[in-house]
Amino acid sequence: MADPFARFPRFPLAHLPTPLVEMKRLRATLSGRMNAEPPRLFIKRDDCTGLAGGGNKTRKLEFLIGEALSQGCNTVVTTGALQSNHARQTAAAAAAAGLRCLLVLFESVPYAGRAYRSSGNLLLDRILGAEVRVEQADADAGALFRQVMAEIEAGGGKPYLVPVGGSNATGSLGYTAAYLEIADALDALGTGPARIVHASSSGGTQAGLVVGRQLRGHGPSVAGINVYRADNDAMAAGILALAGKTAALFELAAPEAGAVVLDGAHLGPRYGLPTEEMKAAVELVAREEGVLLDPVYTGKAMAGFIAQVLAGRHDDVEALVFLHTGGMPGLFAYEDEF
Ligand SMILES: Cc1ncc(COP(=O)(O)O)c(C=O)c1O
C-alpha cells in the first residue's frame, strides 16, 4: 500500500520502529497466580521513542511539529499538569526543530510529594530550554491562552497551539501509524489473534490506534485503560469523537461506538494520585522484566492489564501487547511512593 501518511507534513523525531519484546517472566508469574495459561504477553517499547526520555507524545509531535513548521510558526505553546510528559516531549521537539517553547502548566493534581514541584518532568522542561509558566487549577484557561497567544504575536512571534496531550486529529495520526507498525510486527511473529492494551488519558493514542485498525482493515483489537477521568462513559465518547475526526483525514467513516473499549476501574481517587495497585505493578514489572513504568499512566495501566489477565478477560486472544507509552521521568517526582 502507498504510504498513507505521505501527504501530512511530518518532522522526524522518533527512533522507529520501537522494539516489541516478549514478557516471558511476567507471564510465568501471572500464570502461577491464576493456575491457567494466559495469552503470550508482549510489551511495545514506545518509552524508547528516543526523544528526551521518550514516550508516546513523540509520535504525535512528528505530525504536530510538521504542521507548525508548514504554517511558518516559530513558537510552540502547550499545556498540561505540572508533571506532564507531553509538555516535556513538546519542549524537546521544539528544541530539535529550532522553535521557541512556552509551557503553561496547571497545579491540577493535589499531590504533596516533596519532589513533585521541582523534579521529574518539570526539571527536564527547564533543562530543555522551555519557558515554564505555572497557573492555579482554577485559572480561566480560555482567557489565559488568548492572552498568551496575543503576547507572542505582539512580540512578532507566530504561535502554534498544541492541545493537551497533543490530542487532536493531527496528533492522533502518530498512533494510526503506530498501529500499522504493531500489527505488522505481530504478523511477522505469526502470533494469531491479538489485542493492544494501553493507558488512555487525553485520548489521542487510543483514537489513533482505533483508526489504524480501520485503515488496515484487520489486526489486533484495542483496549484502553482510563487513567484520567472519573466519568468513563464521557471519556469514551470524547475518544470516539476524536477517532471520527482522525478517520475523516483518511476519508474513512467515523468508527462505531463499540470500537472504543475503556476500562474505568483503575484510575483510583483521581488523575495523578497514586494507588497501591499502581505501585505493586510498577515494582513487579521492574523486578520481573527490568522495565520502568511511570506512576501516573503506565503504572495504573499495567495494574489494569494484570487484573484483566488474571480475570481471564483476554482469553479470546493469543497475544496481548502492553503499549508502554513512557513517562518514566515521573517516577522521580513521586519518589516518596517507592
Ligand atoms: C506516559 C503516558 N502514557 C499515556 C498517556 C496517554 O496518552 P493519551 O493522552 O494520548 O491518551 C500519556 C499522556 O500524557 C502519557 O504521558
E strands, 258-317, are 262-263
At 23 the pLDDT is 98
Q: Ligand 1 centre and the CA of 228: distance in Å?
A: 9
**Percent of the chain scored above 70 by pLDDT?**
100
Q: pLDDT tens across 165-213, in order? A: 999 999 999 999 999 999 999 999 999 999 999 999 999 999 999 999 9
Q: Ligand 1 centre and the CA of 85: distance in Å?
A: 8
Q: Ligand 1 centre and the CA of 35: distance in Å?
A: 33
CB atoms within 10 A of CB 279: 16
pLDDT at 2 exceeding the cut of 90: no
55 CA: nearest ligand 1 atom: 1
Q: pLDDT tens across 39-56, in order? A: 999 999 999 999 999 999
Q: Is the CB of 202 under 6 A from ligand 1?
A: yes
Q: pLDDT tens across 296-317, in order? A: 999 999 999 999 999 999 999 9
Using only C-alpha atoms, what is the Rg of the chain? Answer: 19
Is the Cβ–Cβ distance between 232 and 264 less than 8 Å?
yes
Mean pLDDT (the chain) is 97
E strands, the chain, are 20-22, 40-45, 75-81, 100-107, 131-136, 159-161, 194-200, 221-226, 262-263, 319-324
- Name the residue among 160, 190, 175 with its Cα closest to residue 75: 160
Q: Is the CB of 56 under 6 A from ligand 1?
A: yes
Vertex 300: Cα angle to 295 and 303 (nearest 5): 125
Question: Do 57-166 and 20-55+168-337 have the same topology in CATH?
Answer: yes
Q: pLDDT tens across 63-88, in order? A: 999 999 999 999 999 999 999 999 99
pLDDT at 218 exceeding the cut of 80: yes
Which option is the CATH number for 20-55+168-337: 3.30.420.140, 3.30.1330.10, 3.20.20.70, 3.40.50.1100?
A: 3.40.50.1100
297 CA: nearest ligand 1 atom: 3
Residue type (1 letter), 146: R
Q: What residues contact 313, with CB distance under 8 A and at least 6 apart?
A: none
CATH topology of domain 57-166: Rossmann fold (3.40.50)
pLDDT at 35 exceeding the cut of 90: no
167 flagged as catalytic: no
Q: pLDDT tens across 94-152, in order? A: 999 999 999 999 999 999 999 999 999 999 999 999 999 999 999 999 999 999 999 99
pLDDT at 12 exceeding the cut of 80: yes
Residue type (1 letter), 2: A
pLDDT at 281 exceeding the cut of 80: yes
Residue 305 phi, psi dihedral angles, 5° rounding:
-55, -50
Read off the C-alpha cell for 221: 483489537
Q: pLDDT tens across 232-249, in order? A: 999 999 999 999 999 999
Is the Cβ–Cβ distance between 31 and 37 less than 8 Å?
yes
Q: Is the CB of 203 under 6 A from ligand 1?
A: yes
Characterize the bridge pairing of strands 20-22 and 40-45.
antiparallel
Characterize the bridge pairing of strands 262-263 and 20-22.
unpaired
For helices 232-248 and 204-216, what crossing angle results, to 10°? 50
Mean pLDDT of 250-277: 97
Q: Is the CB of 298 under 6 A from ligand 1?
A: yes
Q: Whose CA is nearest to atom 3 of ligand 1?
A: 325
Structural domain spans, the chain: 20-55+168-337, 57-166
pLDDT band at 1 (very low <50, low <70, confident <90, very high): low
At 80 the pLDDT is 96
- Order of strands across the sheet that contains 159-161: 131-136, 100-107, 75-81, 159-161
- CA dist 6 to 11, 66, 173, 282, Å? 12, 12, 11, 38
Is the Cβ–Cβ distance between 73 and 158 less than 8 Å?
yes
